[in-house]
Structures are given as C-alpha cells and as structure tokens.
Amino acid sequence: MELPTFNELRDLAQRDPEGFEVLRSALIEDCIRCSSVSNQRRLRGIQFVIEARRRVAGSPMKALLDIQTMMYDSLLGLQQALLCQQRPSEPSAPSNARVLHFRRSPSSVD
C-alpha cells in the first residue's frame, strides 16, 4: 500500500476522521505484515501499547506526548545497553560500603 502525502492525510483527517482511522490502521497493519516474521509479534505488542495510550490520553496532544515519552524511554534504554557493551572492563560498584558519619563542628555557621 502506498503512503499518501501529508496534505492528503491532513485533508482526509479533516473531511472524514473515520476514514482516516481506517486508512491509518491499514497502513500500520501493512507495515507490520511487511516486516520479518520474527519481528511481527513484537511490533503488534508495541502497537497495542500505543493504541492503549491513545485511548486513555484524553486528547491527541496528550497521546502524542505520552507516545513520545515512551519512544524516548526506549531510546535511553537502548543507549544504556550499547554503552554497557562498550565498557565491559569497568569494575562494578561495590555491593556494600561503610558509611562514615561526620560531626559538625560547634563553630560552623549555617
């Protein structure tokens, strides 16, 4: 299925919101179907989460921000995973430590 231009999508959304949603769902399904079989289950799971966020958001702008946050969190997780692979020789932080208590001197001013 060929992707319509931005202007065509905008016009359809304004003129026929239900038709726009049908087209949006068909394009998403087409994209998932064209992906490798091993990725399809994960893509369907992600799309399920996105649709759930859209339903509970209350407004299109809130949905956009929620989904954007979801994508950003995923990107940060990927970045962390990549950084950990690049530095395998770094020692891990100690699992326990002795805490030292320092007393404030009587002459100190707050």
DSSP secondary structure code for residue 18 in this structure: H
**pLDDT score for 84:** 86
Rounded distance between C-alpha atoms, residue 62 and residue 59, angstroms: 5
Q: State the average pLDDT over residues 51-75.
A: 95
Q: What is the largest CA-CA distance in the chain?
A: 77
pLDDT at 8 over 60: yes
79-94 confidence digits (pLDDT tens):
999 888 766 555 566 6
Q: In the structure, what pLDDT confidence band is assigned to residue 102 with cuts at 50, 70 and 90?
A: confident
Helical segments of the chain, H only: 6-15, 17-34, 37-57, 60-86
Q: In the structure, what pLDDT confidence band is assigned to residue 17 with cuts at 50, 70 and 90?
A: very high
Domain limits of the chain?
A: 6-82
